[in-house]
Every structure is written in structure tokens, then in C-alpha cells.
Structure 1
């Protein structure tokens, strides 16, 4: 088994989740979406990467500014921010908003 930590080198896009240990909405996301996400078409297109806002920012994400609230989801392609979702609107809205944002990528993804 291979465990990837940090940026997903094999993928040009990733969904970065800025979170904190005290974030109730982050916990809700992890309960409602977290278990299923790695097995979805969306994850194949944009793997989830978790970043604690209280830890030093990883070097490849220092250009992402304005992260104040958790959760904040930032869709990144080739190191550049494509879209941002501040907050977690619940499972149904999350999937539809993510689908909308994945359409903004320059490299097409498989339809979810």
C-alpha cells in the first residue's frame, strides 16, 4: 500500500481542504463526504488534500491567500487556484458546487 502525503504529483488538479481541529463543519464534511470521496470520479480528477490552517503552510501553497474560515475548499490546477468554496453547505450542495467548479479546469475530467 502506498500512502501519499502532500501534493498529488500524478494529478494536475487537487481539492485542498483548509481545516482546523475545532471546526464543526469540517467534522460534518468528514462524516458526510469524507468516506466516499476517495472512491468518486471527482477524487480521480481532483484528489482531496487536507491542510490545517494552524500549521505552517506547505511551500507549494504559500501563494494561496485569504484563508480565514474553515472549512475552505480551494480547487487547484497546475499550482494555480481555479475556484474556492468557503464553508460547507451540506452534502447535496457540496457535490453540485464541486461539479460546477470541476468544469472550470483546463483538463477535462470524467463526468461524475
Structure 2
């Protein structure tokens, strides 16, 4: 297990996402009903929202491949997981399904923490 974590940390060290100050990484899985619910309820308006303007969305499958150079606190295991990245480094995360009324305040708290 330690070798796996060390390998994961090594794989996530070169940083194309570092050019972006803040990004929201959505970790999803094919046929995830909660990811589909997010796509229906929140996804269409996310890019135009204040949060979406502050932290544009990047999607990745839970099984990868992940963008190079991420520095994550731990490997995601729940979908959807939303990881706020500042220059490729994890600031915080939201795990599991949330309604829009839950999602935006929680994400705004992470954005405030990052500023």
C-alpha cells in the first residue's frame, strides 16, 4: 500500500494544471447516477456561475488517467468528488452527491479558503 501511495505521488508531479490558478476537478465514473444527477441539476449552469468563473471545471474518470502533476491529499474513492485545485495543489474537496442548494455554499467556502 505504501508503494502504491508513493507511486501515485510520483505520477502526480508534473503540472499542466499548474498554469491555472484555480480549477475544480470533478472525479466521476461511467454510469454513476449521482454524477448524472449533478450533470442535470448543476452542470448546465456551472460555467456561468460565479464559482464556475472562479474555478473552471475539469473532468476525470476515477480510474484515470489524471492530469499530470496533481498534488492530492488522497486518492478519490467516491463519485462524484469535486477537488478544488490551486495551481495543481488540492485546497479542499467535496465528496458525494449534493443538491445545488448544498453544492454552491460548500464550494464557495472552499473558494474563500483558497483566496
TM-score w.r.t. the length of structure 1 is 0.80
CA contact (8 A) 2:18 2:88 kept: no
CA contact (8 A) 2:26 2:57 kept: yes
Aligned residue for 1:72? Answer: 81
Gaps of 5+ in 1: 1-5, 107-112
Partner Cα distance (2:92, 2:77) in 1: 16
Aligned residue for 1:39? Answer: 48
Partner Cα distance (2:31, 2:67) in 1: 20
Q: 1:8 Cα deviation (Å)?
A: 8.2
Aligned residue for 1:110? Answer: none
Partner Cα distance (1:47, 1:103) in 2: 15
Gaps of 5+ in 2: 1-15
TM-score w.r.t. the length of structure 2 is 0.78
How many residues are treated as equivalent by the alignment? 99
CA contact (8 A) 2:28 2:81 kept: yes
Q: 1:88 Cα deviation (Å)?
A: 1.7
Partner Cα distance (1:47, 1:56) in 2: 19
CA contact (8 A) 1:14 1:46 kept: yes
Partner Cα distance (1:8, 1:88) in 2: 27
More helix by share: 2
Partner Cα distance (1:7, 1:38) in 2: 18
Aligned residue for 1:88? Answer: 97
Partner Cα distance (1:27, 1:96) in 2: 20
Aligned residue for 1:3? Answer: none
Q: 1:26 Cα deviation (Å)?
A: 0.4
SS for the counterpart of 1:55 is: coil
